[in-house]
Amino acid sequence: MAQKPTEPNRRDFMTIAAVSFAAVGGAASLWPFIDQMNPDASALSLATIEVDLSPIEEGQSITISWRGKPVFIRHRTGKEIEEAKGVKMADLPDPDARNGNLKDDAPATDINRVKDKNEKWLVLVGICTHLGCIPKGQRIGDAKGEYGGWFCPCHGSHYDTAGRIRKGPAPRNLDVPTFEFVSDTKIKIG
Amino acid sequence: MAHESTFKPGNSISKWFDDRLPIERMMHDQFGVFPMPRNLNYLWTFGGILTFFLVVQLLTGIVLAMHYVPHEGHAFDSVEHIMRDVNWGWLLRYMHANGASMFFLAAYIHIARGMYYGSYKAPREILWILGVLIFVVMMATAFMGYSLVWGQMSFWAVTVITNLFSSLDSIVSGLGTGIVEWIWGGFSVGNPTLNRLYSLHYLLPFVICGLVVLHIWALHIPGSNNPTGIDIKTKSDSIPFTPYYTVKDGFAMCVFVMLFAAFVFYAPNYLGHPDNYVEANPLATPPHIVPEWYFLPYYAILRAIPDKLFGVIAFAGSISILLFLPWLDTSKVRSSRYRPIYKWFFALFMIDVLVLGYLGAKPPEGLYLIVGRLATAYYFLHLLVVLPLLGWIEKPSAMPGSITDDVLGKKPAGAK
Ligand code: HEM
Ligand code: FES
pLDDT range class, residue B415, cuts 50, 70, 90 = very low
Nearest ligand to residue B299 Cα? 2
The predicted model scores a pTM of 0.90
Distance from CA of B211 to the nearest CA of A (A): 24
pLDDT value of position B390: 96
pLDDT value of position B412: 72
- C-alpha–C-alpha distance, residues B42 and B198, integer Å: 36
CB B135 within 8 Å of CB B321: no
With H, G, I as helix, E, B as strand and everything else as coil, classify residue A71: strand
Mean pLDDT value across chain A: 89
Annotated active-site residue B248? The verdict is yes
B102, pLDDT greater than 90: yes
| CB pairs < 8 Å spanning A and B | 81
- C-alpha–C-alpha distance, residues B95 and B82, integer Å: 13
- Read off the pLDDT of residues B4-44 as tens digits, 9 standing for 90 and up: 888 999 999 999 999 999 999 999 999 999 999 999 999 99
Q: How far is the CA of A158 from the centre of ligand 2 (A)?
A: 9
Q: Average pLDDT for residues A143-158, to the nearest whole number?
A: 89
Per DSSP bridges, beta strands A148-152 and A179-183 are: unpaired
Q: Average pLDDT for residues A151-161, to the nearest whole number?
A: 89
Q: Is the peptide bond before B123 cis (omega within 30 degrees of 0)?
A: yes
Q: How far is the CA of B196 from the centre of ligand 1 (A)?
A: 14
- The secondary structure element, H or E, covering residue B295 is none
Q: Average pLDDT for residues B228-256, to the nearest whole number?
A: 95
With beta carbons under 8 A apart, name residues in chain A contacting B192. Answer: 37, 39-40, 43
- The secondary structure element, H or E, covering residue B35 is strand B35-37
> CA nearest B189 in A: which residue?
A68
- The answer to whether domain A44-189 has CATH 3.40.50.300 is no
Indicate the domain borders of chain A. 6-38, 44-189
CB contact under 8 A, A70 and B287: no
Q: Does B73 touch chain A (CB under 8 A)?
A: no
pLDDT value of position A3: 62
Which one is catalytic: B224, B238, B331, B402?
B224
Give the best residue of B153, B285, B359 to mutate against chain A (max A CB count within 10 A).
B285
pLDDT value of position B277: 96
Q: Atom 3 in ligand 2: which residue has the minimum CA distance?
A: A155
- In angstroms, the Cα distances linking B126 to A167, B34, B244, B317 are 44, 20, 27, 19
Annotated active-site residue B292? The verdict is yes
- C-alpha–C-alpha distance, residues B269 and B258, integer Å: 17
B2, pLDDT greater than 80: no
pLDDT value of position B416: 42
- Decide: A134 in ligand 2 pocket, CB within 6 A: no
B201 secondary structure, DSSP code: H
Q: Quote the radius of gyration of chain B (alpha carbons, Å).
A: 24
Annotated active-site residue B288? The verdict is no
Quick one: residue A117, left, alpha or beta (phi over 0 = left, psi -120 to 50 = alpha)?
Answer: left
